[in-house]
Amino acid sequence: MTETKRQRITLSERIHFNGHRMTACSHCVRLNVECIGNKWISNRCANCARMGRRCNAVPVEDAELHELLEARRQNRKEIDKTVAAIGNLSNTLRLLQQRESTLTERVSQFARRELQSSIEADAAVDVAIQEQSEVDVANVSSSEVSTEPFSLESLGEVQLNELLSSFLSSPDDEVPIQDDDGGIAEGGQGN
């Protein structure tokens, strides 16, 4: 009894859907296509069943098929595990990158605050120095200011020490006074 075209196509689809790759038959080799068969459905591959030809494909033995299917199942399990691990690592990486971004922003904010505090402190010191200078200038009366040119030689040793001590931060500091020979005069400190 010959098969109709519709029966051949249906058989071919069942073999292809339920089958597995086999050692290629001569027809599949010549066409350079995948040879898929299922010995429980037909002793022909899907391509030969569709064309109504005889097939010389060698079916895979049951034990070998079982090993291949088990190996494929194990391989798919490993693929699934690897994909899950990659997903977890991806999530961890994303969280670490977010944390890095947050910490970088906080460091930047801290540095800006410290810089602003430093600028404000410097400005306050500058204002205090300016105010002190204005007070010192205001304390000098016009009667103390001489119109004659000033010369250190015209001052005596005592007056020179008083003048220098007024510029020092503490009254204990003494500046050595050199005499004409380059030596230290009395009342001065040695180095």
pLDDT along the chain (191 residues), means of 10: 77 79 85 83 84 80 73 92 92 92 90 86 83 70 53 66 63 54 54 44
Other beta carbons less than 10 A from residue 25's beta carbon: 21
Judge contact between 23 and 57, C-beta under 8 A: yes
Instruction: Give the pLDDT score at 162.
Output: 74
SS3 180: coil
Instruction: Give the pLDDT score at 92.
Output: 92
Residue 58: what residue type? V
Instruction: Give the pLDDT score at 5.
Output: 83
Instruction: Give the pLDDT score at 142.
Output: 44
Judge contact between 157 and 177, C-beta under 8 A: yes
Q: Which of 182, 166, 165, 186 is nearest to 174 (CA)?
A: 165
Judge contact between 50 and 74, C-beta under 8 A: no
Instruction: Give the pLDDT score at 78.
Output: 94
**Contact residues for 44 (Cβ-Cβ < 8 A; gap 6+):** 15, 37, 53, 54, 55, 57
pTM of the model: 0.32
